[in-house]
């Protein structure tokens, strides 16, 4: 796990500054290479977090024997030993790294080598024999890669801050701002920085030095796999157990101590079940205060993780998080490391847990990804409720009654929030299914910033066209958006503390499996989520894990923003009044309705505060 950066430009760029901006991603070594090809100045930079082969032999850039191919690489290739044996048995190696295997595989097979890799990676390869630079991102997008391509110049990096150090001016992409408030992140390949984009997962970019052109191509699509078509429910259970066990074992590859994020929920407990006999692995769990849980209307994760630790005899470390942790200092911290702005209450806990975990472990496994792949969110259940409601007489009347429910007043707040949203958007067009799963209220989010066109509706319409099965739509919508947002903040918050995050559920074989099996294997007709996982592991996990209520991992935002004083302390109204396009009337209305308990606008308020701090840090 490392950081990479580089450029192709008419003049040399400050490569040292670009590399230094990523030093938190790789505190163990820095490396760079600069050259000129066809009147173009080229630079490659690398910061190293040593996970495999801790010696200097693993430092990058790596270079071919003929000195014509240079490579910088961020991530891990979990099957590199198998690939080394299968394809490179007669080659000589100077290190025990996966990086060297990647370089030699490229030399042997060209860009097609990427199809052999099982791992999380972003790779830059300068091939002076072909006069080309390749940028490659892993299938699931676990490792980040950004680029700016303007005036025949290409600047790239693991984080946007390195691109800014390369000379790209930090300007607000106003056209993407409405989407940020709706989705709480920038969807597709957008960012809030004008002229800066993400390289999409499962894509590679080619810069041809002979004519200064850029071409982007997709090399993998999980929806085209037919391997698991027609698998029976029993066979599917057996297969997912095998895949998850193998994916977890592959991600234990390291020459440093390992740990896990253990919430006591289904996904992280499945991973921990494979590791319970390994006493050298520490499991880390966040705990919340009772006062916050009451205001949130959710349950505690820690009590389940603690009981699991007692039953299994595993090492667990409690890391308290609470409303006191949500202050401008912590918000600024997450923004500094995660410059591609995300308004997710899980970032601060991820940062705090990893900061503590870094004292013991340099690699941490996460259960992230299971909810998106196996229909584990409330929005998936709401879609099922929607179909039930449509078969009931007077459904529109019932929907109006559901909308009348106050979200923040009374008992069972979590259920009230879902029923309120279902009622409000029941009569919307087909893209309403996307509204059920996005965080926060759609109409309120639209009203914060005045935009010439509703691009968020265009995005939602493209994923949820009329007449399609919404569960088929979820496969692409959540995989290409919500999931990528989650792995993005996981990468930033772990790397901020010099820790590598690994995600067994996002092994590409599991993604292909999940995208192939039918909905009923994942969400039952009675609304039970992730049914195949619960069924497959029923003999491996206690019932208090498989049958427990889902709890959120994030900061207790509803508790925090139940205080008008706290909102006034955090929200800079003068800033929003000074930026053209923001509606202060709507912002005040949103806050008023939230404090009254009529609506739950905590996610949107957090998005506003996060944007204000991002704007001050990078734009203002």
pLDDT single digits (tens) 31-41: 999 999 989 99
Domain assignment of residue 7, yes or no: yes
- Which helix (H) or strand (E) covers residue 329, if one does? helix 328-337
Domain assignment of residue 192, yes or no: yes
List the beta bridge partners of residue 213. 208
Q: For residue 365, what pLDDT is reported?
A: 96
Verify that 38 and 120 share a domain, yes or no: yes
Say if residue 421's pLDDT is above 80.
yes
Verify that 397 and 466 share a domain, yes or no: yes
Q: What are residue 171's phi and psi, to 5 degrees? A: -125, 145
pLDDT single digits (tens) 504-515: 999 999 999 999
Say if residue 339's pLDDT is above 70.
yes
Domain boundary among 512, 529, 551: 551
* Alpha-carbon separation of residue 165 from 6, 16, 54, 170, 441 (angstroms): 11, 9, 29, 10, 36
Verify that 239 and 282 share a domain, yes or no: yes
Domain assignment of residue 199, yes or no: yes
Phi-psi region at 38: left, alpha or beta (left = phi > 0; alpha = psi -120 to 50): left
Say if residue 297's pLDDT is above 60.
no
Q: For residue 1, what pLDDT is reported?
A: 62
Domain assignment of residue 515, yes or no: yes
Domain boundary among 514, 536, 551: 551
Domain boundary among 197, 220, 243: 220
Q: What are residue 563's phi and psi, to 5 degrees? A: -105, 120
Q: How many Å is the maximal CA-CA distance in the chain?
A: 75
Verify that 577 and 533 share a domain, yes or no: no
Say if residue 161's pLDDT is above 90.
yes
Structure tokens that stand for 589 in this block: 């209305």
- Which helix (H) or strand (E) covers residue 272, if one does? helix 266-273
Q: For residue 56, what pLDDT is reported?
A: 81
For the domain that residue 484 is a member of, what is the CATH number? 3.40.50.620
Q: 188: burial class by Cβ within 10 Å (0-12, 13-18, 19+)?
A: middle
| Rounded Cα gap, residues 491 and 358, in angstroms | 14
Q: For residue 55, what pLDDT is reported?
A: 76
Among residues 522, 535, 549, 553, which one has the least CA distance to residue 270? 535
Q: Provide the mean pLDDT of the chain.
A: 92
Give percent above pLDDT 70 in the chain.
95
The length of the chain, given as a count of residues = 620
Domain assignment of residue 461, yes or no: yes
pLDDT single digits (tens) 510-553: 999 999 999 999 999 999 999 999 999 999 999 999 988 776 56
pTM over 0.85: yes
The answer to whether the beta carbons of residues 148 and 128 sit under 8 Å apart is no
Domain assignment of residue 226, yes or no: no
* Alpha-carbon separation of residue 390 from 166, 369, 387, 577 (angstroms): 55, 30, 5, 43
Say if residue 562's pLDDT is above 90.
no
| Rounded Cα gap, residues 187 and 459, in angstroms | 9
pLDDT confidence bin for 131, thresholds 50/70/90: very high
Domain assignment of residue 225, yes or no: no
For the domain that residue 195 is a member of, what is the CATH number? 3.60.20.10
Verify that 24 and 119 share a domain, yes or no: yes
Verify that 390 and 349 share a domain, yes or no: no
Verify that 7 and 17 share a domain, yes or no: yes
Quote the domain boundaries for residue 411: 378-473+558-618
Verify that 460 and 491 share a domain, yes or no: no
pLDDT single digits (tens) 244-295: 999 999 999 988 899 999 988 999 999 999 999 998 999 998 887 666 555 5
Verify that 457 and 577 share a domain, yes or no: yes
Helix axes 378-390, 470-477, angle to 10 degrees: 160
pLDDT confidence bin for 597, thresholds 50/70/90: confident
> What is the per-residue DSSP string for 386-450?
HHHHHTSTTHHHHHHHHHTS-SSSSS-HHHHHHHHHHHHHTTS-TTHHHHHHSSS-HHHHHHHB-
Instruction: Write the secondary structure of 24-80 as one string of H (helix), E (strand) and C (coil).
Output: HHCECEEEEEEEEECCEEEEEEEEECCCCCCCHHHCCCEECCCCCEEEEEEEEECCH
Verify that 344 and 205 share a domain, yes or no: no
Specify the number of domains making up the chain. Answer: 3
Say if residue 296's pLDDT is above 60.
no
pLDDT single digits (tens) 201-257: 999 999 999 999 999 999 999 988 889 999 999 999 999 999 999 999 999 998 889
Verify that 181 and 129 share a domain, yes or no: yes
Verify that 351 and 438 share a domain, yes or no: no
| Rounded Cα gap, residues 120 and 369, in angstroms | 14
Domain assignment of residue 112, yes or no: yes
Q: Which range is least confidently modeled, 19-28, 375-384, 405-414? A: 405-414
Q: Which residues contact 168 (CB under 8 A, 6 or more apart)?
A: 148, 150, 155, 193, 195, 196
Q: For residue 290, what pLDDT is reported?
A: 61
């Amino acid at each position: 796990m490392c950081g990479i950066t580089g450029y192709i430009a008419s003049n040399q760029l400050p490569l040292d500054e670009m590399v230094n901006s990523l030093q938190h991603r790789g505190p163990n070594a820095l490396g760079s290479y600069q050259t000129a090809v066809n009147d173009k100045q080229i630079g490659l930079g690398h910061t190293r977090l040593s996970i495999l082969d801790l010696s200097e032999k693993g430092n990058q850039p790596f270079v071919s024997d003929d000195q014509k191919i240079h490579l910088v690489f961020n991530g891990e290739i979990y099957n590199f030993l198998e690939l080394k044996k299968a394809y490179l048995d007669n080659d000589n190696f100077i290190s025990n790294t996966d990086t060297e295997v990647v370089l030699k595989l490229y030399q042997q097979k060209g860009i097609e080598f990427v199809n052999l890799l099982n791992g999380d990676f972003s790779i830059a390869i300068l091939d002076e024999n072909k006069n080309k630079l390749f940028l490659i991102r892993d299938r699931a997008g676990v490792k980040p890669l950004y680029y700016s391509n303007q005036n025949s110049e290409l600047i790239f990096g693991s984080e946007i801050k390195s691109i800014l150090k390369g000379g790209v001016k930090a300007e607000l992409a106003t056209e993407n701002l409405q989407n940020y408030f709706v989705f709480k992140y920038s969807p597709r390949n957008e960012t809030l920085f004008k002229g800066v984009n993400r390289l999409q997962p499962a894509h590679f970019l080619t810069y041809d030095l002979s004519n200064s052109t850029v071409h982007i191509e997709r090399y993998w699509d999980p929806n085209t796999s037919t391997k698991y078509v027609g698998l029976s429910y029993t066979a599917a259970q057996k297969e997912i157990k095998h895949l998850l066990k193998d994916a977890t074992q592959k991600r234990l590859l390291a020459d440093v101590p390992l740990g896990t994020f253990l919430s006591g929920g289904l996904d992280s407990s499945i991973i921990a079940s494979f590791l319970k006999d390994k006493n050298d692995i520490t499991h880390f769990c966040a705990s919340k205060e009772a006062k916050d849980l009451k205001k949130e209307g959710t349950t505690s994760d820690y009590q389940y993780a603690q009981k699991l630790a007692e039953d299994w005899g595993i090492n667990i470390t409690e890391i308290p998080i609470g409303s006191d942790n949500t202050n401008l200092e912590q918000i600024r911290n997450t923004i500094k490391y995660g410059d591609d702005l995300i308004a997710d209450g899980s970032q601060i806990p991820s940062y705090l847990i990893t900061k503590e975990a870094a004292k013991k472990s340099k690699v941490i496994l996460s259960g992230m990804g299971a909810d998106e792949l196996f229909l584990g969110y409330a929005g998936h259940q709401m879609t099922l409720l929607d179909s039930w409601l449509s078969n009931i007489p007077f459904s529109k009347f019932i929907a109006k009654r559901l909308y009348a429910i106050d979200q923040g007043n009374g008992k069972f707040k979590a259920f009230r929030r879902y029923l309120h949203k279902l009622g409000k958007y029941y009569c919307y067009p087909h893209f309403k299914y996307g509204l059920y799963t996005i965080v926060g209220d759609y109409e309120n989010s639209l009203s914060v910033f005045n935009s010439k066109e509703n691009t968020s509706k265009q995005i939602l319409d493209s994923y949820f066209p009329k007449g399609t099965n919404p569960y088929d739509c979820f496969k692409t919508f959540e995989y290409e958006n919500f999931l990528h947002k989650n792995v993005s903040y996981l990468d930033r918050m772990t790397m901020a503390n010099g820790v590598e995050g690994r995600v067994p559920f996002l092994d590409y074989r599991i993604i292909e499996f999940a995208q192939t099996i039918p909905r009923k294997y994942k969400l039952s007709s009675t609304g039970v989520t992730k049914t195949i996982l619960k069924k497959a592991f029923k003999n491996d996990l206690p019932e208090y894990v498989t049958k427990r209520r889902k709890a959120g991992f994030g900061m207790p935002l509803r508790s925090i923003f139940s205080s008008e004083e706290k909102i006034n302390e955090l929200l800079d109204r003068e800033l929003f009044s000074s930026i053209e396009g923001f509606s202060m009337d709507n912002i005040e209305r949103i806050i008023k309705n939230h404090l009254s308990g009529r609506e739950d606008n905590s996610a949107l308020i957090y998005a506003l505060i996060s944007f204000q701090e991002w704007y001050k840090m990078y734009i203002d």
